[in-house]
Amino acid sequence: MDSTRQSLIDEIKKRVQDRILERTNADLLIKLITNADSLDEAINIAALGTTYKRTGLHFDKRLEKMGNAIRYFKKNEKLSFRTDDAKPVNKLIIGDNYQALQNLLIQYRGKIDVIYIDPPYGKDSMGEFAKTNYNNAITRDNLLSMLYPRLVLARQLLSDEGVIFCSIDDKNQAYVKCLFDEIFGETNFAGIFPWRKRTAKSDVPFGISQDYEYILVFAKSEFFKASIEGGNRKYFETPDFPNRPWRFHDMTTQRTSLERPNSNFTIINPKNNETYPVNPQAVWRITKEGFPEYLKENRIIFPDDYDFLKISKPVLRYWKDEDEKKAKDDFGKIAVSTKLPDYVGMSQDGTKEISNILGEKSFGYPKSVKLINFLIKISSNQNSIILDFFAGSGTTGHAVLDLNKSDGGNRIFILCQLNEKTDANPDGIAYDVTSKRLKRIMTGECYDGSKDFPWLQDNEPYGGNLDVYEIEEIFNSESTEGKTPFDVIDETLYGKEKFQTVKEKIEWVCQNFDKTQTKL
């Protein structure tokens, strides 16, 4: 087989490893490539494994193209800081998030536990980025085209137990969900949180105030499970079962006698022969055949058994030790309702928070810290890694610090933000907003040493450490100013120890930075 065909097949196999292609589809493509009559035909067949899928959506393809420059992280020593070497190091990456995600894969493939993104979904809301990349307008086509390759990379970063949250408005929610269905799979759709962003307005089209945005939730796989502390399950300790607490639960279901004929029977209390007829519209949870076994194991409680239970019909008994064994680490936790708690706040709360830190009009429409705090709390453990590659004002980083403070966690955040320049932020959002917010809430002072911002009046600095990276590029084929990629790329920024030999460094760069040359 010629080398070109083999490289096409290798790329198809790589996409299977990255979980972009299904194995069965890849096997078919490889077979077709192998049997193709010409090289051009083989190339066209291989392209089927790299083009965008369609779920009834039609948007411009923005396929990856190989360039001749390697993108890599370079530490900004001026913006980075340390306050406590005992605490983990968080990261802020300044630059195009597509290139940032490519570089993050080198260290964090399959290691990110939670991703939250709040992408720009309004026309012209991306400013300079839209002008240079997407014809200065975030139309729906451009939004989907922009998100697709980034979500493909994001999925590769997630751990098998990981989850991604995506805020989106009501106009684009249905379309973006279809895009997520394609990339993460419909079976991994976990739910949608409606988030109330404002109080109702009266001067609105059609007389309907659109007060809600939506947060899509997609799991990486079936291993993800959201939960929250329950605290409302009550167990009883009684003399007849010492040292074995129990709880009770309704014994009826929402099934009818036609649906469950084996549960359509009258229960008789063997102690006093009192009868309890079945409700044909809500039959018993147990069957007539299983009733004697439940009775033998003391799993059925009758109204006369305990004076403190105010019940009028039999109920089921559940033992605490069995609940603990079944739930394991999730004991005491309950499923999360899609109705967000009131305390997560609205858009005005996020605006007030950022104003107290950076001043008025520093950033438009930030989410509240409590909202992101809640999402991370229900989906992470105390050592999770949280990623936001549309970081904006840095609310996700703030929320991670706040949650760590409340529960003693050691979560790490990684934020990515393009340094888009605006009238309010002439030096760019990443410099003027994201990095400054993190510096102030973590150290209690600005980069210039001043401490005159209102947030400090009611809050203590969180402490912690921040590394700020910027994305640089260097040509792969020749030296730039006497430097080669092997000279300028710092392996310690990717979780590696300094290499002892040049050979080790060359091998590592060649193995890991090839994909950073692709561009959209």
For 409-457, how does the pLDDT look when each residue is reduced to its tens digit (9 = 90+)?
Answer: 999 999 999 998 888 888 899 999 999 999 999 999 999 999 999 999 9
- Please give the DSSP secondary-structure letter assigned to residue 378: T
Whether residue 29 contacts residue 45, with contact meaning beta carbons closer than 8 Å, is answered with yes
89-105 tens-digit pLDDT? 999 999 999 999 999 99
Average pLDDT over residues 216-230: 88
Which amino acid is residue 451, in one-letter code?
K
Distances (CA, A) of 437 to 127, 191, 471: 21, 31, 21
Q: Tell me the pLDDT tens digit for each residue of 334-383.
A: 788 999 999 999 999 999 999 999 987 778 788 999 999 999 999 999 99
d(CA 402, CA 370): 9
**What amino acid is encoded at 48 in this protein?**
L
202 burial type by CB count under 10 A (0-12 exposed, 13-18 middle, 19+ buried): exposed
How far is Cα 315 from Cα 301, in angstroms, rounded to an integer?
Answer: 5
Average pLDDT over residues 455-464: 96
Taking the C-alpha atoms of residue 510 and residue 165, their distance in angstroms, rounded to an integer, is 33
Question: Which sign does the torsion angle of CA 306, 310, 311, 315 carry?
Answer: negative
- pLDDT band for position 128 (cuts 50, 70, 90): very low
- 475 has which bridge partners? 69
User: For residue range 26-85, what is the model confidence (pLDDT) as tens digits?
Assistant: 888 898 888 888 877 888 888 777 654 455 566 665 656 677 889 999 999 999 999 999
d(CA 94, CA 420): 10
Kind of pairing between the strands at 300-301 and 275-276: unpaired
Which tokens sit at 345?
């706040």
Q: To 5 degrees, how large is the angle CA 418–CA 178–CA 65?
A: 50
Question: Distance of CA 449 to CAs 379, 393, 414, 453, Å?
Answer: 36, 20, 25, 12
pTM confidence score = 0.76
pLDDT tens, residue by residue, 496-506: 999 999 999 99
Asked whether residue 264 carries a pLDDT value surpassing 80, the answer given is yes
